[in-house]
Amino acid sequence: MRKHLKRYIPDHDAVRSNRWLAIFGDTLLHPRLWHLNRHSAAGGVAVGLFCGLIPGPLQMLGAAVLSVIFRVNLPLALVSTLYTNPLTIVPLYFVAYQIGRLFFGDAGEFVPPPEFDWHNFGQWVGATFDWMSGLGKPLALGLPLLALTLAGVGYFVVQAAWRIYLIRAWHHRRKRRAP
């Protein structure tokens, strides 16, 4: 698995010579950001899954910053943010909203947004703001909880998968060496 992933990871000279990345100096050249082992890979996936729920185009920036702070694999963190896209973001945010509702004890059903009305535009804006603020508390709590859950699950799945791969490799090696 490491051989396959190393093909896509740039070397230090490529990072150092990139004019856009040169402003960060040696920060992006820290060996733990590019090293590929069980702990750095699991941490990179966890950071990427956590930052994947950040709204807008800030997902990869957040993953890069957290990778530098926690010294986990940077390329895996960036790639792991790609699980969110226009097809998956709505179901993920709906799940986050439902998680937030569990903690706020809101047993009510989802209320559709108010219908648009040109004649009472000011009232419509006020009703829409009230509707959005009603979604805000559960969503504001549900998003970090879902992000932490996804990051934790991703971390332990990578750790377990890597461990299973190593155990199988040890067994295959033992069978080859046995007479």
Q: What's the CA angle centered on 165, arms 159 and 168, to 5 degrees?
A: 140
Provide the domain limits for residue 113.
2-177
What residue type is 51 in one-letter code? C
Q: For all residues of the chain together, what is the average pLDDT?
A: 82
pLDDT tens for 101-134 read 888 876 456 666 667 777 887 887 788 777 667 6
| The predicted structure's pLDDT at residue 57 | 77
Q: How many domains does the chain have?
A: 1
Please state the rounded mean pLDDT for residues 24-52.
83
| The predicted structure's pLDDT at residue 139 | 80
End-to-end CA distance of the chain: 28
DSSP 47-71: HHHHHTTSSGGGHHHHHHHHHHHHT
Contact 135, 94 (CB under 8 A): no
Gap between the Cα atoms of 72 and 27, Å rounded: 13
pLDDT tens for 56-86 read 778 998 998 999 899 999 889 999 999 998 8
